[in-house]
Amino acid sequence: MKSVLLDKSRHDRKRFDCGVKALNNYLQLMASQQLKKDNTRTFILEDEQHPQFIKGYYSLTMTTIDLNALPPRLRKKHQNANSAGLIARLAVDRRYSRKGFGEWLLVDALAKLLTASETVAFPFIIVDSKEGMAPFYEKFGFSSFLDTPDKLFITVADVRNIL
């Protein structure tokens, strides 16, 4: 399997339905514009039989990090840090759910951010999870920020070790 950049002339964005309206809308209305403006990169996992069908997607960008919301040990170690890679969105179409594609997309997103961090360094990767979905990320070593349980982080060093 291989993810590819969103291509609005190839991918059927209207068909995509992950069950969460905001995530459907983002893919259908925003992702392509945001890509063109260099704000986010959206990667697609295509259906091999019908490459225009989208199995799932994620969007990557950068964000700032609130050091005060980190556990004290990490806050001290990374006191000069100010940026992090962000998995801004991640979703799988309902027709393809519970087949491991969500986990595959998460690992693929982490691998891409790890590669990016080798050129433009940042020490954390952050994800804004949907309510109740934190365990999906905790399985991979993410931890919740102290003040926001649905916002999670992992250090790039840990991602390097895992991958």
- Binding residues for ligand COA, per CB under 6 A? 18-20, 23, 90-92, 97-103, 129-130, 133, 136
Q: Which residues lie below 8 Å from residue 5, measured CB to CB, with a gap of 6+? A: 35, 41, 42, 43, 44
**Which CB sits closer to ligand COA, 75 or 151?**
151
- Least gap, CB of 71 to ligand COA (angstroms): 22
**Which CB sits closer to ligand COA, 23 or 70?**
23
Q: Which residues lie below 8 Å from residue 69, measured CB to CB, with a gap of 6+? A: 145, 146, 147, 148
**Which CB sits closer to ligand COA, 122 or 142?**
142
**Which CB sits closer to ligand COA, 75 or 144?**
144
- Least gap, CB of 130 to ligand COA (angstroms): 4
Q: What is the dihedral of CA 94, 113, 26, 148, to 10 degrees?
A: 90
- Least gap, CB of 150 to ligand COA (angstroms): 8
Helix (H) or strand (E) holding 35: helix 31-36
Question: What sign results for the dihedral spanned by CA atoms 33, 83, 112, 151?
Answer: negative
Size (the chain), residues? 163
- Least gap, CB of 62 to ligand COA (angstroms): 18
